[in-house]
Chains A and B, each alone.
Chain A
Amino acid sequence: MKISLSTSILAGIAIVSGGIVLLGYFIDLPGLRDLRLLLVDWAVILAAVALLVGVLNLAVVHWKRFRASQKGSGNSLVLMISILVTIFIIAAWGGPTTVGSMWIYNFILLPIETSLLALLAVVLIYAFARMFHRKITIPVLVFAGVVLFVLVGAFTLPGLNVPLIVELRDWITQVWAVAGVRGILLGVALGTIATGLRILLGSDRPYGG
């Protein structure tokens, strides 16, 4: 596979900066620590700039969709108006934490996201039911059994006090579930290290091909 000069330069920058940050994490030398913090600061600044460009990209995509009168172009118009109004209010009131911006956050963004959260509860119950329609395997039965058991154990039903159910629920959630979670997390941690090292070694290059 041919690797261009620009890709080699990009890979070099990524490997060197990644190596410095990783070493700075393990070895506490003053110069190395400062360099690590500097590089992390640069990464945060670049991510913030990317966010601005990203918002612009979002607006451009929806502008094109609106102009092409694609399906859902009305929603695209609402999105563009919302972006413009929000930017205007932030500029007029002088910042993202002022009265106007917080009003948008508390009275528009928060209720919409909360309604999506409520919708999510319904979708999850539906997904749980659909899981049996797809295929019934032993892991599916174990999953469903534990979910139902933990839910039953969490309810307080008047006149229905089944002995030992709370103790059994605690035993399942605090011993079996925690053991399973730790097992999964160990796998995730090893996978995380492997992914990071592949990028540091230049094997994975999610930039410039």
Chain B
Amino acid sequence: MTFLGLGFVILFIVLMSLFWARDRKQLRQNLRSIPAFAKLKQGIHLSVEAGQRLHLSLGHGGITGQTSTSSFVGLSVLQRIARAAMFSDRPPVTTSGEAAQAFLSQDTLRSAYRAINVESPFDPDAAQISGLTPFSFAAGTLPVVYDQQVSVNIMAGSFGSEVALIADAAEQTNSVSLGGSENLAAQAVMFSAIQEPLIGEEFYAAGAYVQAGPMHAASLRTQDVLRWLLIGVILAGAALKLAGIL
């Protein structure tokens, strides 16, 4: 069984590499429209033009546990949007519920400053830890949403149902809210509480949609291929079970 798992990972790498080699020179990827990403692009322009702030909340997943990948998706989004939103009078801020994740977000923001040679000095407080338990994190994030003239709130990371408190604050300040998480409870809450939720794999497609690099698009195509493969295996298994063979 472990070799089956290893085989699956190798197949994933091979397909990703093939799609990357094929499509790496394409400037525009042909992706289906997801309203949340259209809203994100619109929101970035809006925040730059109106001189308002963009807030990205990375959740409390950390980088060593099972929920770490959603933190990394959030960081990929941050890496991309920070460069675009850095020209606003109020540069983007991030909130985290875990220390290592906060340092990575600080590092990501700093590298965005370096990459575009912004004259103003980097403010390390722009990437802050707002609390270390889920509810203290949500409570600590609320002042950022309420008081820092935020026009776009992105919730991209590992959350629980406490994300509703942040979403409610975003709604009360009439700011745009969008986001996604790997957690099913958070996805259900986001569906009802935020304007543009990202459900299931849509969240993991964020890198490809914000054009974080050709490997993101390649991994998205690989996910599509393997999803069909899994659907085929599940259907074949069900058919064999019905036929009494399994």
Contact = CB atoms under 8 A, between A and B. Distances in A.
Interface of A: 22, 25-28, 40, 43-44, 46-47, 50-55, 57-58, 61, 64, 70-72, 75, 109, 112-113, 116-117, 119-120, 123-124, 126-128, 130-131, 134, 139, 143, 181, 183-188, 190-199, 201, 203-204, 206-209
Prevailing SS type, chain B contact patch: helix
Interface of B: 2-3, 5-6, 8-9, 12-13, 16, 62-64, 69, 72-73, 75-76, 79, 98-100, 102-104, 107-108, 110-112, 114-115, 125, 128-130, 132-133, 135-136, 138-139, 143, 147, 161-162, 164-165, 167-168, 171, 182, 184, 187, 189, 191-193, 195, 199-201, 203-205, 207, 212-213, 215-216, 219-220, 222-223, 226-227, 230
A53 B102 CA distance: 10
A32 to B, nearest CB: 13
Contacts of A131: 191-193
Contact of B203 (A50, A119, A191): A191
B200 A206 contact: no
Given A188-B201, A194-B12, A194-B222, A206 B114 contact: no
A11 B3 CA distance: 27
Contact of B184 (A55, A181, A201): A181
Given A50-B103, A184-B184, A195-B69, 5 more contacts: A116-B135, A188-B200, A194-B220, A196-B69, A209-B107
B111 A116 contact: no
Contacts of A64: 125
A197 to B, nearest CB: 6
A38 to B, nearest CB: 14
B182 A192 contact: yes
Given A71-B147, A188-B201, A53 B99 contact: yes
Nearest to A185: B184
B200 A183 contact: yes
18 contacts: A27-B6, A47-B100, A50-B100, A53-B103, A54-B132, A120-B162, A131-B193, A187-B201, A187-B227, A190-B227, A191-B205, A193-B8, A195-B69, A195-B73, A197-B13, A204-B215, A206-B104, A206-B107
A127 B219 contact: no
B184 A26 contact: no
